Amino acid sequence: GAVVSQHPSWVICKSGTSVKIECRSLDFQATTMFWYRQFPKQSLMLMATSNEGSKATYEQGVEKDKFLINHASLTLSTLTVTSAHPEDSSFYICSAGGALKYLEQYFGPGTRLTVT
Amino acid sequence: RKEVEQDPGPFNVPEGATVAFNCTYSNSASQSFFWYRQDCRKEPKLLMSVYSSGNEDGRFTAQLNRASQYISLLIRDSKLSDSATYLCVVNRNSGNTPLVFGKGTRLSVIA
* List of chain A residues whose C-beta atoms are within 8 Å of the C-beta of residue B99: 34, 46, 95, 105
pLDDT in tens, A6-18: 999 999 999 999 9
Q: How confident is the model at residue B95 (pLDDT cuts 50, 70, 90)?
A: low
> Would you say the C-alpha torsion B17, B109, A93, A88 has a positive or negative sign?
positive
Q: Supply the DSSP string of B37-83, one letter for each residue.
A: EE-TTS--EEEEEE-TT-EEETTEEEEEETTTTEEEEEE-S--GGG-
Tell me the sheet residues that pair with A115.
A13
Query: For a pLDDT cut of 90, what percent of chain A falls above it?
Result: 63
**Helices (H) then strands (E): counts for chain A:** 0, 11
Judged against a pLDDT cut of 90, whether residue A104 lies above it is answered with no
Write down the pLDDT at residue A98.
55
Which chain A residues touch B if contact means CB-CB below 8 Å?
Answer: 1, 32, 34, 36, 42-46, 49, 91, 93, 95, 97-98, 101-110, 112
Mean pLDDT of A80-93: 96
DSSP A103: T
Considering only the beta carbons, identify the residue of A42, A43, A103 that sits closest to B32.
A103
Going by pLDDT thresholds of 50, 70 and 90, the confidence category of residue B105 is: very high
Of B31, B30, B32, B24, which is closest to residue B1 (Cα–Cα)? B24
**Confidence category of residue A100, pLDDT binned at 50, 70, 90:** very low
The mean per-residue pLDDT over the stretch B78-107 comes to 87
| pLDDT confidence tier of residue A99, bands split at 50, 70 and 90 | very low
C-alpha–C-alpha distance, residues B109 and B111, integer Å: 7
Lowest mean pLDDT across A53-67, B40-54, B90-104 = B90-104
Closest CA to B47 of A102, A97, A1, A41: A1
Query: What is the sign of the dihedral through the CA atoms of B101, B102, B106 and B109?
Result: negative
pLDDT (0 to 100) of residue B31: 82
- List, in order, residues 6 or more apart from A23 with CB less than 8 Å away: A4, A5, A6, A33, A35, A76, A77, A78, A79, A94, A96, A108
Report the pLDDT averaged over residues A79-103.
83
